[in-house]
């Protein structure tokens, strides 16, 4: 009887979905059109890509939209955590595993259309009175690495955009991917600003915290490869960024 019980248990374990490794805590932020919430539900380019991956790997863990600083704190403290969309940097590769890219763009300094500022290098921006940036974002970290002392961090990208329109800051540091949507929410448009200088390219990835099972990360990577190969990724990308070319390569970097 004991043998039969053990045999049945072994059979049951074998037919459980392969997905049943560990529950994931999945976070993103308010950063339209890449990710945002509508009536409490997540949406956006990166959200739809992640949801498609979840469907294929049979993962039903909820996606939570939180401030980036909160998601970052959890990522650095807890295993089995996913945070997206994260800009790839050498420093972040030392902290996390990343798969992607799921979007590509540039990080720029924006000023009002009538601004007299002239910026031809990143050091020139240090002479501005104040540079608005989203707290704990890659832009914030980038400026701190360059030892900026005129950073004006905000709790949301929208607040920085509003501060620029009200002339409370001279420059706004943000990616071109989200600047149009953020400005629209602020009651403005790209016609009201100008890009003075491009700091770097911006390659966005899905990031996994240390301690997340390797099998889990590899499943997500293979699913991302599949949705790029069968055209699903391009459809999602052009839905949100119709004039941009989707990044079709897929890699895993980091820890």
Looking at beta carbons, which pairs linking 73-80 to residues 24 or more positions away fall under 8 Å? 74/25, 74/27, 74/209, 75/27, 75/207, 75/209, 76/209, 78/25, 78/209, 78/211, 79/209, 79/210, 79/211, 79/212, 80/22, 80/23, 80/24, 80/25, 80/209, 80/211, 80/212, 80/213, 80/216
Query: Per residue in 147-175, pLDDT tens?
Result: 999 999 999 999 999 999 999 999 999 99
Q: What is the pLDDT, as a whole number, of residue 255?
A: 79
Q: What is the pLDDT, as a whole number, of residue 22?
A: 74
Q: Cα(154)–Cα(69) distance, rounded to whole angstroms?
A: 11
User: Which residue stretches of the chain have pLDDT < 50?
Assistant: 2-19
Q: What is the pLDDT, as a whole number, of residue 122?
A: 95
Looking at the domain assignment, is residue 14 inside a domain? no
**Which two three-digit tokens encode residue 183?**
């400005």
User: Could you tell me if 122 and 188 lie in one domain?
Assistant: yes
User: Could you tell me if 130 and 153 lie in one domain?
Assistant: yes
User: Could you tell me if 30 and 64 lie in one domain?
Assistant: yes
Instruction: State how many domains the chain has.
Output: 2
User: Could you tell me if 187 and 208 lie in one domain?
Assistant: no
Q: Could you tell me if residue 241 is left (phi over 0), alpha (psi between -120 and 50 degrees) or otherwise beta?
A: beta
Looking at the domain assignment, is residue 59 inside a domain? yes
Q: How many CA atoms lie within 13 A of 45 on its CB side?
A: 27
DSSP 168: S
User: Could you tell me if 38 and 50 lie in one domain?
Assistant: yes
Looking at the domain assignment, is residue 118 inside a domain? yes
CATH of the domain at 244: 3.40.190.10
Q: What is the pLDDT, as a whole number, of residue 21?
A: 59
Looking at the domain assignment, is residue 20 inside a domain? no
User: Could you tell me if 245 and 232 lie in one domain?
Assistant: yes
Query: What stretch of H or E contains 234?
Result: helix 232-240
Looking at the domain assignment, is residue 6 inside a domain? no
Query: Per residue in 212-246, pLDDT tens?
Result: 999 999 999 999 999 999 999 999 999 999 989 99
Q: What is the pLDDT, as a whole number, of residue 17?
A: 45
Q: What is the pLDDT, as a whole number, of residue 184?
A: 96
Q: Of 161, 184, 201, which residue is a domain's last? A: 201
Cα distances from 140 to residues 77, 80, 107, in angstroms, run 20, 26, 11
Single pTM value for the model: 0.85
Q: What is the pLDDT, as a whole number, of residue 188?
A: 98
Domain of 143, in residue numbers? 106-201
Looking at the domain assignment, is residue 15 inside a domain? no
Q: Cα(173)–Cα(126) distance, rounded to whole angstroms?
A: 12
Looking at the domain assignment, is residue 186 inside a domain? yes
User: Could you tell me if 152 and 228 lie in one domain?
Assistant: no
């Amino acid at each position: 009887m004991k043998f039969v019980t053990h045999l049945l248990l072994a059979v049951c374990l074998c037919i459980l979905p392969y997905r049943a490794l560990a529950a994931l805590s999945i976070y993103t932020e308010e950063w339209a059109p890449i990710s945002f919430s509508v009536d409490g539900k997540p949406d956006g380019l990166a959200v739809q890509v992640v949801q498609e991956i979840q469907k294929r790997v049979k993962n039903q863990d909820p996606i939570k939209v939180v401030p980036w600083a909160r998601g970052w704190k959890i990522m650095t403290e807890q295993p089995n955590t996913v945070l997206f969309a994260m800009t790839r940097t050498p420093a972040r590769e030392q902290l996390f595993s990343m798969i992607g890219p799921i979007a590509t763009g540039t990080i720029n300094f924006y000023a009002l259309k009538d601004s007299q500022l002239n910026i031809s290098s990143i050091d020139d921006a240090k002479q501005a009175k104040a540079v608005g940036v989203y707290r704990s974002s890659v832009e914030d970290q980038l400026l701190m690495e360059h030892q900026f002392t005129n950073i004006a961090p905000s709790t949301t990208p929208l607040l920085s955009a509003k501060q620029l329109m009200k002339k409370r800051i001279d420059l706004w540091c943000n990616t071109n991917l989200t600047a149009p949507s953020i400005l629209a929410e602020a009651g403005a448009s790209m016609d009201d600003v100008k890009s003075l200088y491009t700091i770097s390219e911006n390659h966005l990835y899905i990031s996994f915290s240390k301690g997340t099972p390797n099998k889990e990360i590899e499943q997500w990577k293979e699913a991302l490869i599949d949705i790029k190969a069968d055209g699903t990724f391009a459809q999602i990308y052009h839905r949100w960024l119709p004039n941009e070319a989707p990044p079709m390569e897929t890699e895993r970097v980091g820890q």
